[in-house]
């Protein structure tokens, strides 16, 4: 038994120390090592060694300028959506994906939403059962249209702000919008003639030194409308701001037409001229 094991050991040793055997094994080892090294090198190159770059903000730029700057940083660009916005030139970037300041690999595609040249076409809602100006104007606002009142007509038979006529570009279209099929460009101005109460005037409320919320309540309970709210540089919280000026000014003997607007000027701290 011992002799048999010794013979096997001698044969194994002779095989493993044979020059050609050793040469072949070393060659195989070198080949496998080379393949592994090349694989790791390729993976590092493909993933850019695990490095990432920060995405700049392109929002507000023209698409051409943004594309040029993005490509100079090894980004690809693509427009994913286009939206019409009133008053904004075409090709202006509104949003981007990935978002600004996020980190991505070089060569990543950045998708832009841009403004487009031609406005969308929307259709005016039907007036049937929907002739209250306040409600109807809010619907138009959600459609991207601009409603405005150009005249008021006293009518004791109707509720105030009932729509009497609808005009577009100077033409009366009241009957044309029956059925909700009248097309109009988004951003267009729609004019209205509405009814008003027979009692035409109310006293001017004194809003100065009031908080903004209190002033709004005072105006609305006087059958007037809150106009433009203009804040100065000190305002950080509109809810706690104070009115320091109003237009038209308070006049104990003055009157305004019902539904007219009062513009409010607000500041953060209570004005020193206000009494305790």
Could you report the per-residue pLDDT of 209-253, keeping only the tens digit for each?
999 999 999 999 998 999 999 999 999 998 889 999 999 999 988
The residue with tokens 């991207």 is: 144
Residue 145 region by backbone torsions, left for phi larger than 0, else alpha for psi between -120 and 50, else beta: beta
Domains 121-196 and 201-267 share a fold: yes
The hierarchical CATH code for the domain 53-115 is: 3.30.10.20
| pLDDT tens, position by position, 121-176 | 888 988 877 789 999 999 998 888 889 999 988 887 888 889 999 999 888 988 88
Report the chain's terminal Cα–Cα distance, integer Å: 117
Domain boundaries, the chain: 2-46, 53-115, 121-196, 201-267
**Alpha-carbon dihedral of residues 71, 72, 74, 75, nearest 10 degrees?**
-40
CATH label, 121-196, candidates 1.20.1600.10, 1.10.3720.10, 3.30.10.20, 3.40.50.300: 3.30.10.20
Considering the segment(s) 201-267 as one domain, its CATH architecture is 2-Layer Sandwich (3.30)
């Amino acid at each position: 038994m011992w002799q048999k094991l010794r013979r096997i050991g001698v044969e194994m040793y002779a095989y493993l120390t044979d020059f050609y055997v050793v040469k072949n094994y070393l060659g195989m080892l070198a080949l496998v090592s080379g393949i592994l090294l090349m694989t790791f090198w390729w993976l590092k190159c493909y993933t850019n060694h695990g490095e990432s770059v920060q995405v700049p903000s392109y929002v507000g730029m023209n698409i051409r300028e943004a594309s040029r700057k993005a490509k100079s940083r090894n980004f690809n660009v693509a427009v994913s959506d286009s939206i019409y916005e009133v008053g904004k030139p075409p090709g202006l970037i509104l949003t981007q994906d990935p978002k600004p300041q996020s980190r991505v690999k070089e060569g990543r595609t950045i998708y832009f939403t841009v403004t487009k040249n031609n406005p969308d076409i929307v259709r005016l809602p039907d007036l049937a059962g929907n002739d209250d100006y306040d409600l109807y104007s809010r619907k138009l606002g959600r459609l991207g249209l601009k409603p405005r009142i150009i005249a008021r007509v006293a009518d004791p038979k109707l509720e105030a702000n009932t729509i009497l006529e609808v005009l577009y570009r100077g033409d009366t279209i009241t009957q044309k919008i029956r059925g909700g099929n009248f097309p109009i460009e988004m951003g267009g101005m729609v004019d209205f003639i509405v009814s008003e109460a027979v009692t035409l005037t109310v006293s001017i409320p004194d809003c100065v030194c009031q908080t903004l919320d209190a002033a709004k309540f005072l105006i609305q309970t006087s059958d007037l409308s809150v106009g433009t709210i203009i804040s100065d540089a000190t305002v950080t919280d509109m809810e706690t701001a104070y009115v320091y000026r109003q237009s038209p000014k308070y006049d104990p003997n003055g009157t305004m037409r019902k539904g007219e607007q009062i513009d409010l000027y607000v500041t953060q701290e209570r004005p020193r001229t206000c009494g305790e």
